[in-house]
Amino acid sequence: MTTAKTSTTTLHLGGIPLTIYGLQELPKTPIAVEILFFLHGRMSERKSIDMFVRDVLPKLKRPTVIVTLDHRNHGERLVDLKANRGWNDSGVPKDTLENEDHAIDMPALYSGTAMDVSLLVTYLPLKLWPNSEHHVARFGCAGISLGGHSTWLVGAKDPRVSILVPIIGSPNPGQLLRHRAANTVPKPNLTEEVANAIEGVTDYDTSVWKNKHILALCGAIDPVVPPKESQTETYVERLKNAGIDVELIVEEGVGHTVSEKMLKELVLWLNSSRFD
């Protein structure tokens, strides 16, 4: 992984702390710019993906700024650390659960952050370029783990966001949590009422993905968000059958992590002719 010198600009919008990469490299004359939101994972913060952004951004062919933000209840927005924990993040059987409300807290986090991205799509260009110094050609969203859940949701709910890259994330977190609950000791009390209320995208009509582009990146041996049990594999196949531009890359020998190959595939895909 290589990192290049890239400018960063920090600001707050709507109470959301942001880091914007590449803003100062844009020319003074008006051009079309793409904005890519990049979301971190659970129990992390936007600073943790700084090296990923610095690796990816200089390799992109089209003028792009990448925006990172802290998930709700993470980083500078932290209120209650326990609410970010899973039932048993260690994977080692314990006498008590780390967070009994994981099935409620986690969906509230990724759903809330998806709302935040849509808010930023509306207001961030006005904040950055109030006099139309540049205009936005496309909006995109990439996210890791919890951020991947948010990315799927943003893509299904916001027609303005056309580039989606969920990385080790799930389109159906409700099913994922059912799988997780069945393999957790002690067994969580995941009621059907709660499980059925967990927001995902697999119940949406595939027409919401028309004119959108999706790259899903997964690890073949991911124990946290398995490609099969998270329904990533089956949902991508469903979207392909509906004629949606979607690609799934499952990397052999990789678990719940972001690999160098994933970042390379991300760059190749973003630079592909589908966006010409």
Residue 55, in any domain of the structure: yes
3-state secondary structure of 219: strand
Q: Residue 274 corresponds to which amino acid?
A: R
Tokens standing for 276?
């010409």
Residue 95, in any domain of the structure: yes
Residue 147, in any domain of the structure: yes
Residue 3, in any domain of the structure: no
Torsions phi, psi of 174, nearest 5? Answer: -65, -45
Instruction: Please report which helix (H) or strand (E) contains residue 114, including its range.
Output: helix 102-128
* Pairing status of strand 16-21 against strand 8-13: antiparallel
CA–CA dist 149, 273 (Å, integer): 27
Question: Using 50, 70 and 90 to split pLDDT, how confident is the model at 134?
Answer: very high
Domain count of the fold of the chain = 1
Instruction: For residues 185-190, give the mean pLDDT.
Output: 94
Ranges 60-74, 89-103, 123-137: which has the least confidence: 89-103
Tokens standing for 2?
């290589």
Q: Residue 13 corresponds to which amino acid?
A: L
Q: What is the pLDDT of residue 255?
A: 98
CA–CA dist 223, 188 (Å, integer): 18
Q: What is the pLDDT of residues 200-245, one digit of tens each?
A: 999 999 999 999 999 999 999 999 999 999 999 999 999 999 999 9
**Domain carrying residue 258:** 8-275
Task: Name residues whose C-beta falls within 8 Å of residue 186's C-beta, 6 or more positions apart in sequence.
Answer: 93, 94, 95, 96, 97
Vertex 206: Cα angle to 259 and 276 (nearest 5): 60
Rounded to two decimals, the pTM is 0.97
Q: What is the pLDDT of residue 242?
A: 98
Residue 163, in any domain of the structure: yes
Is the CB of residue 40 less than 8 Å from the CB of residue 46? yes
Domain CATH code at residue 65: 3.40.50.1820
Residue 134, in any domain of the structure: yes
Residue 2, in any domain of the structure: no
Tokens standing for 263?
């970042």
Q: What is the pLDDT of residue 3?
A: 63
Q: What is the pLDDT of residues 10-48, one digit of tens each?
A: 999 999 999 999 999 999 999 999 999 999 999 999 999
Q: Residue 81 corresponds to which amino acid?
A: L
Q: What is the pLDDT of residue 92?
A: 86
Residue 1, in any domain of the structure: no
Q: Which residues of 116-147 are buried (b: 16+ CB within 10 A; e: fewer)?
A: bbbebbeebbeebbeeeebebebbbbbbbbbb
